[in-house]
Structure 1
């Protein structure tokens, strides 16, 4: 016999406060946090956990309850569609035969470029002059001629759906609920050697960050992109001609600021430039970086002479030079898989110029989730001895840094390598070297040390208070 439950016995009878409490039990850490320390891939934001999404589809009431939590960790994938055309003398000549079919925008381009080429006459058709005479023009609606050009190029830009997302956020008043944002693309920027592309790239990147921070207020921003693209999105250079040897498909950078309600640096403050670059958009207090695996480079001839991309080094230097101590980073983390010791030395050299660090975190070996060392195809011709030699040399550099940098009492050093079987003892040995030199680091748990000024040169606490033999 079927009985209908009374209304008071259904979930719909519960007040919103209890429903919010129920929904909170389905909230999980997002993959962009759980996977940030893993080797970078296009799967950073992918997860099989869909409890909240399923709950939001139960009813309109549940949708309203879950919505603020559902979009707390959001992602924006940059548009992959090429939108820029290189305009040279040969293309302008082709446009001349179709003047009646050109859009107003295309006609303006034709007239402007034609007058530019007049002074160079036939030399404008010489391919060696392309880098000087070429202009990059963005395709607009109705530009059918430019859209038909075979060689259309890509610069980073927001997807068309971002405007709709912005309206959605404004409509449901969710601007302050979105705490974290991942900006993602797996598209590689290929115009870094074309000098005339610098200005369009700078404008395109500035527009991305302006639009994002106009509509959203995340306290955490992660950018996941191939090194060439990441350099453009960070308004910096790669400072390396050996990127091919490392074959790094993607890097991650993570920037954190205090909760918006705790930010006490006004926009008009002079503690940083507050320019269009991402590193100066907000008063970031944490900088995290994951450059992935350097394993491919170990298979190259004279691998130790190769230079990995140096965006992190340049970003740290920029912060050190352009940001006042009151608004600089206090926390830093680096994750990589067998980076060269020369790379770690370069990063440490930059960190020495940042005077505000309170916490540093390193991971230089594959995590427990990474089977790289047991994958012959990925190891290639790399020799395990070389990998661990660079790892050891890197920790010598880190240990030296911990001994000479002016860390304040209570500062932290964390090594995620201690989570890997067999490596905790190795890291301990390097830290013990610091103890013997009186650097004052006290181990609090596996993989974590605290700066303790009360420790003597032998690592033991110093006696406090007046001497027993001193006169009263």
Structure 2
């Protein structure tokens, strides 16, 4: 022994820089990335193992180290509680009998609606009068009378603890560490039949996105919700009266901004605060997962049914954007046996977006999905019909790839090719491209790259007139 005291070294004695490096090795891809291509469910953000969260509970030092990494991928569930009441003549009469018990907000509603009713020449209790002058009013804290109304309705709104999350992010300077936000709900928006619901819905949705983007600066946003709710959150419509036939519980949309666009965003003209989500940022990628269409195959004359058309409307809306830096360069679509008519509508919209450089499709169940072996899921659907629509869809896609003026080096990916059987099926459509003179070079499983050097000189003459008129309408 030389008399020098020994010092024990443990992980907490390491410098913070090394601890950060250790923590980053636990920063795995979040479930919203890993499961985005899976059949949609409310479990998109669920993860059984959360090593970073566990590490943050070890000590205050580790919590401080882990916190910025822990919130890279954040989630915001919409509040499930209904907050809106339809005010009609009969409800106003009940309010009048309890004036002394009304809150200040309820009194304002009472006087405003009473003036509106008095200005009408109709009798206040005619049934048509109720239909004509229904107003939706939001329930505030302290509105005990309105809270007791049996018919309280739901519009999308942020949870009560959202501001607590904002304060946490502000206190720990997390705003620029939050890369991704998943906004999700499993509640259906059911007020499409109420004409006066449009304005409250638009204000509620604008308020959601204004608060999210004021508090955070994510480069990726995912919205997971039932089709009716997603349409509202995206400021679009469904364009379908057949949603019952498809029984789609949830759709996903992913909007992603490249690092270069994020760094240059200060140069872009500031967007108005009440615009739709798709125009809030210069998104470079749009991904969509509409889930399974298989339930509709069990219905009479299934081929006449129309699935929800939010994606088609969004793509058309993007195509009308005149500033190239605010348009997408990559697109991915995931569905389980969508009808070929739906695929055709998507392709028609894609053809109008000239900035596209990467396109990806998945039209069959993934390897994690046992749908085809489940009699309960299949119902009365015939496998022949499923694969017929799959093949017709890929014919439409192949025609699009042969016509669209992709840049040299652009890519097409078929995720279906991860299944070796489907990969051999798709090879037939890949050969269609060369038959029409378009040069696409295969690189890896399910990936083709546009290669001008492989184009045939007579490419234009090989295209049939129907190829162009069908997909460029």
Q: Which range, TM-score by smaller chain?
A: over 0.9
Give the TM-score, by structure 1 length: 0.93
Instruction: Find the counterpart in structure 2 of residue 326 from structure 1.
Output: 325
The CA distance in 2 between the partners of 1:427 and 1:226, in whole Å, is 31
In structure 1, the partner of 2:53 is: 53
Say if 1:437 and 1:458, in contact at 8 Å, map to a contact too: no
Q: What is the aligned partner in structure 2 of residue 116 from structure 1?
A: 116
For the 8 Å contact 1:23–1:66, the answer to whether it is kept is: yes
Q: How many angstroms apart in 2 are the aligned matches of 1:399 and 1:273?
A: 39
Aligned residues, how many? 454
Aligned to 2:166: 166
Partner residue in 1 for 2:364? 365
Q: Distance in 1 between matches of 2:129 and 2:322?
A: 40
| Preserved CA contact (<8 Å) 1:435 1:458 | no
Structure 2 residue aligned with 1:65: 65
- Residue pair 1:55, 1:66 contacting (<8 A) in 2 also: yes
Per-residue CA deviations over 1:226-245 (Å, capped at 9, x if unaligned) read: 00000000000001000000
Report deviation, 1:423: 0.2
CA contact (8 A) 2:251 2:291 kept: yes
- What SS does the aligned partner of 2:230 have? helix
Matches within 5 A, 1:267-346: 269=269, 275-346=274-345
Per-residue CA deviations over 1:307-326 (Å, capped at 9, x if unaligned) read 00000000000011134223
Matches of 2:433 and 2:37, distance apart in 1:
26
RMSD: 1.7
Q: How far does the alpha carbon of each residue in 1:285-314 deviate from its partner, in whole angstroms, 9 at most, with x for none?
A: 100000000000000000000000000000
Do the aligned partners of 1:186 and 1:250 also contact (CA within 8 Å) in 2? yes
- Secondary structure of the structure 2 residue equivalent to 1:39: coil
Which secondary structure state, in structure 2, belongs to the residue aligned with residue 290 of structure 1? Answer: strand
Distance 1:404 1:360 in 2: 14
Counterpart position of 2:81: 81
2: distance between equivalents of 1:146 and 1:267?
47
Structure 2 distance, partners of 1:384, 1:216, is 46
Task: Give the equivalent residue in structure 2 for 1:420.
Answer: 419
Offset at residue 26 of structure 1 (A):
1.2
Which stretch shows the higher mean deviation, 99-108 or 215-224? 99-108
SS of 2:454's partner is coil
The alpha carbon displacement at 1:275 in A equals 4.6
Q: Which runs of 5+ in 2 are unaligned?
A: 459-473
Q: Is the 8 A contact 2:40 2:250 kept in 1?
A: yes
The alignment's TM-score, normalised by the length of structure 2, stands at: 0.93
Deviations 1:317-354 (A, max 9, x none): 00111342232100000000000000000000001110
What is the DSSP-based 3-state SS (H/G/I as helix, E as strand, rest coil) of the residue aligned with 2:420? coil
Q: Distance in 2 between matches of 1:197 and 1:7?
A: 70
**Structure 1 gaps, min length 5:** 460-472
